[in-house]
Amino acid sequence: MAGDVNEGYALRLKGVTKVFGGIKALDNVDFDVRAGEVHCLAGENGCGKSTLIKIVTGVYRPETADLIELFGEKLEAITPVMARAKGVSVIWQDLALFPNMSVAENIAFDEMVGLRPKGVDHAGMKTRAAAVLARLGVTLDLNAPLESLLIAQRQVVAIARALMNDARLIFMDEPTASLTQSETDRLLDIVRKLSADGVAIVFVSHRLAEVLEIASRVTAVRDGRLVGVYPTKGMTQARLGELMTGHLLEDKVVAASKDSGPIVFQASGLTRPKQFTDIDLTIHAGEVVGLVGLIGAGRTELAHTIMGMTQAASGTMQLQGKPYRPASIRDAIAQGLAYVSEDRLQLGLLQKQSIADNAAIAVLDTLLDGTGLISPAKKDDLITGWVKKLGIKIGKPENAISTLSGGNQQKVVLAKWLATQPKLLILDSPTVGVDVGARAGIFRIVRELADQGLAILLITDEVTEAMFNADRVLHMAQGRIIAAHDPRTTSVAQMEAAIYA
Amino acid sequence: MTSFFEKGRAFFGRETFGLLLLMAAMVLAFSLASPKFLGLANLSSMGFQAPLLGLLTIAMLAPMISGGFNLAVIYTANLSGLTFAWVLLQFGGPEAGMGAILLGTVAALIVGATAGAVMGLVIAYVGAHPILVSLAMMIFLRGLGEFLTKGGDISGFPESIAVLGHGTLLGIPVPMILFGLVALVWHILLRRSRHGFAVYMVGSNIRAAEYSGLNTKRTLVAIYALSGLVCAIAGILMLSRFNSVRVGHGEALLLITVLAIFLGGIDPFGGHGKVAPVILSVLILQVLSSGLNLIGANQHLATAVWGLFLVAVMIVRSERFQESVQSFTVALHHMSKPAGGKS
């Protein structure tokens, strides 16, 4: 490293410590970013990444810091105003944009705030917004309201807004979490372009593959301490995962032939116009069937029909050999199906309610006492049982579910459904927003469940996830299942090529 | 002293304990200001007055926990009372016997529950906003009631009816007993039954509740029907208290029920809230108005004080206020320490 020469650094922090309520969120951490570099900040949820970002943007003041230096200038502390004036910008995962304002207004937002009540220079604003978008090589309708844009386009608007403020150091928090593969590729192109322009980018992402693709160096943080700074050249996903979690997380193919077991679920010729066509699907007891494809391929729509939320126009379904035609999601649950929704925040859990209530919601009937009322003791037993079985880290069961990390929330979702003793479990993108360590934990549970004889349909956007956790991988495109892959005889590269071709 | 507060908080819950303290402070202040405040006459008059507001508040509470609203509580109560009165008049008015009273009660309860269930059906199956649906029902019921009564009073009931509104049992006003029973049932229903559980979940996120297999539509219909049922009980009580039925009786209480609910710490967006603190809020409002009345303040002033009271409660509950109280106590703590310690 460059020693004490501060030329060429956008940011240098040395020995930063930040304490919250007696707990060291950051403990003597060093962090530096070179000008024009794409740098990855890697670590599990709660490791101190966000705290670090908030120190750089002046939201938090560290208790101690041996050195704080922005663009070669030594500072006592960073204030929010100073951070912005010097060109530090953060694009949080929720983007913090204004849905009902236009693209141009969103991009030039800070300019409008600064104006005295003279009025807003709409024409000038549009010209400048267009110039920034041109710099990114993107065309967007400047007059369109932001809410009419795709998430990927909104991301571009957020980046443009940062550039409008002459940002020279941009932090991006999970920028690709809700993007498709091709959208991600386009975003990474933009990041490269910015980097070539001399803008330093700090990338925070759970998706290790793209981290390794885009960044030149990676800083790994674990439990508030610096693990180390590494060049990404020669780094593997497994090694990076190990640095972040402290455990060796080696992906290996676990697939086995499970088609000798009894058939749990079977669909033949299942069709719902404009969503999926002629779906034949068989899942055996103890089998994990992966379902991969691009967003819009019809995977979630198929799951919704299997769960009785929508009705198929033609085709039949069978559950354990008997005709199965659920009239509603309640009907499907009663017949032994369970569905972990891809949208944990809105549909999977009731974020404002307690951990206990979220876990108990699907099995209230089993928790009644002699008088027909819910027995608090039975409810407690249910929660403690599942917390132990799945290794869920919680405070008190009556705390709101939103106090848990993504991984632990998802485990509560699993507990909720496993309590119903399902025959078929559908997992729809079960690891969105779940960090790498917790991800491994969830798939360990999935594998155990399969070994106990549960039939599982795993819908995922990540080929590797299907590859290393499913027994069979089906490829869905434009509403049809077009290929079946055996993880034992296919490589990730082959499967990715087939899907993203 | 601190441990007393902490224990109380842990035992009663934050909301309830705070309200208990508030109530104690007010009772103390009023009893100092007027010796009559703790007298039997005043206590019993409060015991006869509070239950009507209490019942109507309970009728408003459950729809609010489910994320909705019931603007029609007053007119549902009026129409139910009207039904009761009509049955009594059919059986001879003042000469009506026990059988007629029983029949009238059942008819009133059916009318109340039906009015509620209709709202619930529209809200659940049409997806219309509860405020609009209950507003429509409120206007419909008012119009219907005024049409049937031609805007006048209906009276002439058997004397035995008066027991409900004016009698006492073991020295406790009968309306208070009625209110206590309904509150208890409501508490158990919300906190311990499957249906109550579903109400909280629906109020929190109806789609997630649906995805978890709850029957959200049935929950909504049932909760509005039950709300209507409690309105009917309030309507019967009103008939007995005033010895007459008039569409518009109790109109002024509509928004006071909302006041009591917010005072009781119910989440205005649904999903959270308990019965006990709401009951306490009703009692606090009664203490406030009776107390002010006793010390000779104008009745309208009491209403004004209620309003100020809600604003004050919102300020005290705000995060910013709580933070500044906390830093203030920390600062006091530091100041009281001998000098030399780091601050």
- How confident is the model over B251-287, as pLDDT tens digits? 888 988 988 998 888 888 888 888 999 999 999 989 9
Q: Which residues of B touch A350 (CB under 8 A)?
A: 201, 204-205, 208-209, 212, 271
Distance from CA of A367 to the nearest CA of B (A): 9
Residue contact A348–B211, C-beta within 8 A: yes
Residues 6+ apart with CB under 8 A from A389: A415
Closest CB to A364 among B197, B210, B211: B197
Residues 6+ apart with CB under 8 A from B26: B284, B287, B288, B291
Residue B119 half-sphere exposure toward CB, CA atoms < 13 A? 34
The Cα-based distances of A149 to A95, A177, A472 in angstroms read 13, 16, 36
Residue contact A347–B192, C-beta within 8 A: no
Residue contact A347–B209, C-beta within 8 A: no
Q: Which residues of B touch A357 (CB under 8 A)?
A: 197, 200-201
Q: Which chain A residue has its CA at the smallest distance from B191's CA?
A: A374
Residue contact B208–A329, C-beta within 8 A: no
Neighbour count for residue A94 (Cβ, 10 Å): 9
In A, what residues contact B, Cβ < 8 A?
Answer: 329-330, 333-334, 339, 341, 346-353, 357, 360-362, 364-365, 368, 372-374, 416, 420
Least confident range from A110-119, A476-485, B52-61, B308-317: namely A110-119
CA angle B5, B8, B9 (to 5 degrees): 85
Single out the residue of A440, A150, A180 nearest to residue A299, CA to CA: A180
Instruction: Mutation target for B interface from A350, A357, A374, A396: give the one with most B CBs within 10 A.
Output: A350
Residue contact B214–A361, C-beta within 8 A: yes
Residue contact A351–B205, C-beta within 8 A: yes
Neighbour count for residue A260 (Cβ, 10 Å): 9
Band the pLDDT of A456: cuts 50, 70, 90.
very high
Q: Which residues of B touch A329 (CB under 8 A)?
A: 210-211, 213
Q: Which residues of B touch A368 (CB under 8 A)?
A: 194
Structure tokens at B191: 């906190």
Tell me what the pLDDT averaged over chain A comes to: 87
> Which ipTM score applies to this complex?
0.81
Predicted confidence (pLDDT) per residue in A228-249, tens digit? 999 988 888 888 888 887 776 6
In B, what residues contact A, Cβ < 8 A?
Answer: 188, 192-194, 197, 200-201, 204-205, 207-215, 271-272
Residue contact A353–B197, C-beta within 8 A: no
Residue contact B213–A341, C-beta within 8 A: no
Place of tokens 């991301």: A155
Residue A458 β-bridge partners: A290, A427
Q: Dmax over Cα atoms in chain A, in whole Å?
A: 76
Closest CB to B192 among A361, A373, A416: A373
The segment with the largest mean pLDDT, out of A1-10, A43-52, A91-100, B112-121, is B112-121
CA angle B114, B118, B124 (to 5 degrees): 135
Place of tokens 């807003």: A120
Residue B178 half-sphere exposure toward CB, CA atoms < 13 A? 29
Distance from CA of B214 to the nearest CA of A (A): 7
Band the pLDDT of B71: cuts 50, 70, 90.
very high
Q: Which residues of A touch B188 (CB under 8 A)?
A: 373
Closest CB to B207 among A330, A346, A361: A346
Residue contact B194–A374, C-beta within 8 A: yes
pTM tops 0.90 = no
Total residues found in chain A within this entry: 501
Q: Which chain A residue has its CA at the smallest distance from B212's CA?
A: A362
Instruction: Mutation target for A interface from B192, B200, B212: give the one with most A CBs within 10 A.
Output: B212
Predicted confidence (pLDDT) per residue in A414-441, tens digit? 999 999 999 999 999 888 777 777 888 8
Predicted confidence (pLDDT) per residue in B151-163, tens digit? 888 888 888 888 8
Asked if the domains at A9-245 and A251-336+422-501 fall in one CATH topology, the answer is yes
Q: Are B175 and B52 in contact (CB under 8 A)?
A: yes
Residues 6+ apart with CB under 8 A from A15: A28, A29, A30, A64, A65, A66, A67
Residue ranges in A59-215 assigned as alpha helix (H): 80-86, 103-107, 109-114, 122-136, 151-164, 181-196, 208-214
Check pLDDT > 80 for residue B318: no
The segment with the largest mean pLDDT, out of A318-327, B29-38, B296-305, is A318-327
In this prediction, residues B117-144 reach a mean pLDDT of: 94
Check pLDDT > 50 for residue B164: yes
Q: Are A363 and B213 in contact (CB under 8 A)?
A: no
Q: Are B227 and B116 in contact (CB under 8 A)?
A: yes
Distance from CA of B209 to the nearest CA of A (A): 7
Query: What is the SS3 string spanning chain B?
Result: CHHHHHHHHHHHCHHHHHHHHHHHHHHHHHHHHCCCCCCHHHHHHHHHHHHHHHHHHHHHHHHHHCCCCCCCHHHHHHHHHHHHHHHHHHCCHHHCCHHHHHHHHHHHHHHHHHHHHHHHHHHHHHCCCHHHHHHHHHHHHHHHHHHHHCCCCEECCCHHHHHHHHCEECCEEHHHHHHHHHHHHHHHHHHHCHHHHHHHHHHHCHHHHHHCCCCHHHHHHHHHHHHHHHHHHHHHHHHHHHCEECCCCCHHHHHHHHHHHHHCCCCCCCCCCCHHHHHHHHHHHHHHHHHHHHCCCCHHHHHHHHHHHHHHHHHHHCHHHHHHHHHHHHHHHHHHCCCCCCC
Q: What is the DSSP letter of A261?
A: S
Residue contact A361–B272, C-beta within 8 A: no
Q: Are B295 and B30 in contact (CB under 8 A)?
A: yes
Please give the pLDDT value at position B3: 65
| CA–CA gap between residue B208 and residue B324 (Å, rounded) | 37
CB contacts < 8 A, A to B, total: 62
Check pLDDT > 80 for residue A500: no
In this prediction, residues B177-193 reach a mean pLDDT of: 93
Q: Are A437 and A405 in contact (CB under 8 A)?
A: no
Closest CB to B188 among A334, A357, A373: A373
Q: Answer yes or no: CATH 3.40.50.2300 is held by domain A251-336+422-501.
A: no
CATH topology for A9-245? Rossmann fold (3.40.50)
Check pLDDT > 80 for residue A489: yes
Question: Domain spans of chain A?
Answer: 9-245, 251-336+422-501, 347-421
| CA–CA gap between residue A23 and residue A20 (Å, rounded) | 5
Residue contact A353–B188, C-beta within 8 A: no
Single out the residue of A159, A210, A154 nearest to residue A181, CA to CA: A210
| CA–CA gap between residue B78 and residue B60 (Å, rounded) | 15
Residue contact A372–B193, C-beta within 8 A: yes
Residue contact B201–A416, C-beta within 8 A: no
| CA–CA gap between residue A423 and residue A336 (Å, rounded) | 5
Place of tokens 């991988």: A473
Single out the residue of A293, B70, B58 nearest to residue A302, CA to CA: A293
Distance from CA of B211 to the nearest CA of A (A): 7
A252 backbone dihedrals φ, ψ, rounded to 5°: -145, 155
Residue contact B272–A341, C-beta within 8 A: no
Q: Which residues of B touch A347 (CB under 8 A)?
A: 207-208, 211
Q: Which residues of B touch A351 (CB under 8 A)?
A: 204-205
Residue A455 β-bridge partners: A424
A220 backbone dihedrals φ, ψ, rounded to 5°: -100, 130
Tell me what the pLDDT averaged over chain B comes to: 87
Check pLDDT > 90 for residue A115: no
Q: Which residues of B touch A333 (CB under 8 A)?
A: 213
Please give the pLDDT value at position B13: 74
The Cα-based distances of A106 to A109, A167, A216, B135 in angstroms read 5, 16, 31, 38
Residue A475 β-bridge partners: A292, A483
Q: Which residues of A touch B212 (CB under 8 A)?
A: 350, 361-362, 416
Single out the residue of A257, A292, A236 nearest to residue A466, CA to CA: A292
The Cα-based distances of B220 to A408, B217, B223, B228 in angstroms read 31, 5, 5, 12
Residue contact A364–B194, C-beta within 8 A: yes
Residue contact A357–B207, C-beta within 8 A: no
Residue contact B204–A350, C-beta within 8 A: yes
Q: Are A27 and A17 in contact (CB under 8 A)?
A: yes
Place of tokens 């020995």: A15
| CA–CA gap between residue A105 and residue B8 (Å, rounded) | 52
Structure tokens at B15: 């909301």
Please give the pLDDT value at position A317: 95
Closest CB to A350 among B192, B193, B209: B209
Distance from CA of B320 to the nearest CA of A (A): 18
Q: Which chain B residue has its CA at the smallest distance from A336's CA?
A: B213
Q: Which residues of B touch A327 (CB under 8 A)?
A: none
